[in-house]
Structure 1
């Protein structure tokens, strides 16, 4: 079996990695186990002062079990954990932090996933001078391993709540029918009617980590990175459920300056028909193709969050909201599952296996990196034109049908 690999990050800094944890006693909790405080593990990638340290394997110790729990939920082969675990990353656990302060990113993985889910992206950002804090969500991550060796497995209630909405009339209606029908079905999946309670908790997990950085209350080796983290240049990034939480966090937390949602559908109404407060990038896959692959043909949606991030009569025109679709790649291939061989992905991931691993990694790194450089550093990266030119498989999402519908509803004209 050929060992999995990917190319080194392209920035000028070597990449360090450290773990830590905090206890949140500020925000409301859902789990009885969190009543005395929600214990949150974090992994942080950072610019390092020197190269030469040992590179961290992708999975260490019991982390393979955490990934196997995720694979079991996804119906994927358990040996994928072993293949991923053997990957030699470019992260060095025992290397000093580069001097100075750096733009800071708080990252959140997808539902029932794991803390190092998008390692190549984390390393890319760190190599280009970002401190990246990846957040775990006890009970909603596949599993969390703390420094003392204790683990927390995902709660079945979380998974059951998600499965409970799939197949409901509102769920199907959100993706099918004309614009008016899709819009009418959307509120039935939001807030307390769907995954909203957990979505709010994930927003609070983001905010708890930002609070802990601000208050210098992170324990463990990652605590040393607090003084390197510039909260004046703070972005939130997430994938899937974590991406939606990132967008909502940016809407409510004024410390956040930019947000990236990698293919996550919103489960809160805070951004429904409302302009995003800060620059926002939404990278989506082809939802209609994905639904067809799992037996839901005839999807008519333009993209998962077609009614979010902008006032409807101006949908797709907000200068700070960028919606880009990736052709061919599937939802799960925006994670490190894309490192697995194409032929294996094609047998497990519906409609998967048509994209080359490194190409997807390069696309995500370049797209997220350019957006954050422009939004947080003020650099002129000619975004998104630069990445659209470099990656023809990326294309802007046309929301003119949403505008036309909304203007017709309101009797409003305009181009």
Structure 2
């Protein structure tokens, strides 16, 4: 059966699901209106929304190499290489250098990939203000770990606002760049990896071939996520602050195909205790045996509704065998669960004209529902917000009880 998503085949959507993806787009759609140039008003507040939790936020970057796997997209490059941004609860102290949003090289490739080359300068995007300090001392205690996987074509930087907020609320967060699946990933030696997987997707000879590539992306990312978990919690961890991680409480979440990868990771690795799919088609079907009773949340646009075109959500919902929620957000777009609304606001551009929610509401809803899910299932704290609709969140629809 062909799974369809918002008027497009799911596999074709993968080929165009970078930052500019919109619910009404098609694989062969004509270009939309040219984005508006950045304004001086937008340029005055070029920083991410502030984290809301009680902790200061620290940040570090890891370059990890999986010597047991050859890169599936560029075999001649050798072993699979991953860049990981870490965000963690930190001790308060003197203000230090804030972590860069992304490198200038990554920003240049990203802007070119989404049609904003010449509209926004790479240095403007790369210097977007963050709230995590490099070299910050870790806070005392042990904290649950959350792994984040971005959308297809999207760099890990696009989930920074969520990562910083979770760290401020007492979570250890690892955002993963999956090699050759992002428009631009810079390695420590200066190499810039482009989205070879995107090129393979667009050149696939058939719908069946694209669907198979989508499944390979999802299951390959699951292997990446398990490897990162190994390197953070194993006998000889790759990060000196790994002692702060509570290995008994681990979740995985992702946007778009990263959300599918979250489910794939739970299928492949019992160490993941809970998962979240943010508006992504399930590229690997949830089996009849489910996820061994572990909790899973599906958080997406209102177009991801029961009986909708993306049949994978109906199929997945039926087979999820633990605590589960299917939540839709009216007025949101595919990228509302990422930094994209903030980038549009700060840079003075429009990437998805169909979105009617304010930037603040898109950010707040994502942060609140993701964090309450994690609080309930990694910390054992019941969260009434997840019980059903609330007056303070009229945009949020519980699609299934």
Regarding TM over 0.5, the answer is: yes
Structure 2 equivalent of residue 26 of structure 1: 68
User: Aligned match of 1:99 in 133, 136, 140?
Assistant: 140
- Partner of 2:315, secondary structure, is coil
- 8 Å CA contact 1:388–1:395 kept in 2: the answer is no
2:258 counterpart of 1:242: yes
2:252 counterpart of 1:212: no
Q: CA deviation at 1:165?
A: 6.8
- Partner of 1:338, secondary structure, is helix
Structure 2 equivalent of residue 125 of structure 1: 166
**Shift in alpha-carbon separation, 1:365–1:75, aligned structure 2, 3 A:** same
Structure 1 equivalent of residue 199 of structure 2: 160
- 8 Å CA contact 2:279–2:304 kept in 1: the answer is no
Q: CA deviation at 1:380?
A: 1.2
CA-to-partner distance for each residue in 1:377-402, whole Å, 9 max, x for gaps?
10111241377443211101249xxx
Distance in 1 between residues matched to 2:135 and 2:310, nearest whole Å: 46
- Partner of 1:363, secondary structure, is helix
Distance in 2 between residues matched to 1:10 and 1:243, nearest whole Å: 24
User: Aligned match of 1:308 in 305, 310, 316?
Assistant: 316
- Partner of 1:111, secondary structure, is coil
User: Aligned match of 1:224 in 220, 236, 240?
Assistant: 240
1:264-413 alignment runs, 5 A limit: 264-269=280-285, 271=286, 275-277=290-292, 278-287=294-303, 300-301=308-309, 305-311=313-319, 320-341=323-344, 347-352=350-355, 354-385=356-387, 388-398=390-400
**Higher deviation after alignment, 358-367 or 377-386:** 377-386
Q: CA deviation at 1:267?
A: 1.2
Greater relative CO (CA pairs within 8 A, separation 6+): 2
**Shift in alpha-carbon separation, 1:351–1:342, aligned structure 2, 3 A:** farther
Structure 2 equivalent of residue 68 of structure 1: 108
Q: CA deviation at 1:18?
A: 0.6
- Partner of 1:390, secondary structure, is coil
CA RMSD of aligned residues (A): 3.0
Q: CA deviation at 1:346?
A: 7.4
CA-to-partner distance for each residue in 1:250-293, whole Å, 9 max, x for gaps?
12211110001111111113x1555333101111113479xxxx
CA-to-partner distance for each residue in 1:221-244, whole Å, 9 max, x for gaps?
xx1221111121000011111111
**Higher deviation after alignment, 230-239 or 325-334:** 325-334
Structure 1 equivalent of residue 37 of structure 2: none
- Partner of 1:224, secondary structure, is coil
Q: Give the helix-richer structure, 1 or 2.
A: 1
Structure 1 equivalent of residue 54 of structure 2: 12
- Partner of 1:20, secondary structure, is strand
- 8 Å CA contact 2:107–2:126 kept in 1: the answer is no
Unaligned runs of 5+ in 1: 171-187, 290-298, 400-415
- 8 Å CA contact 2:70–2:78 kept in 1: the answer is no
**Shift in alpha-carbon separation, 1:341–1:145, aligned structure 2, 3 A:** closer
**Shift in alpha-carbon separation, 1:130–1:90, aligned structure 2, 3 A:** same
Distance in 2 between residues matched to 1:256 and 1:53, nearest whole Å: 34
Distance in 1 between residues matched to 2:287 and 2:199, nearest whole Å: 25
Count of equivalent residues: 356
Distance in 1 between residues matched to 2:231 and 2:304, nearest whole Å: 40
**Shift in alpha-carbon separation, 1:203–1:19, aligned structure 2, 3 A:** same
- 8 Å CA contact 2:87–2:172 kept in 1: the answer is yes
Distance in 1 between residues matched to 2:343 and 2:98, nearest whole Å: 18
- Partner of 2:218, secondary structure, is helix
**Higher deviation after alignment, 377-386 or 258-267:** 377-386
Distance in 1 between residues matched to 2:245 and 2:186, nearest whole Å: 24
Q: CA deviation at 1:6?
A: 4.5
- Partner of 1:26, secondary structure, is strand
1:112-151 alignment runs, 5 A limit: 112-146=153-187, 148-151=188-191
Structure 2 equivalent of residue 253 of structure 1: 269
1:74-93 alignment runs, 5 A limit: 74-77=114-117, 79=120, 81-93=122-134
- Partner of 2:138, secondary structure, is coil
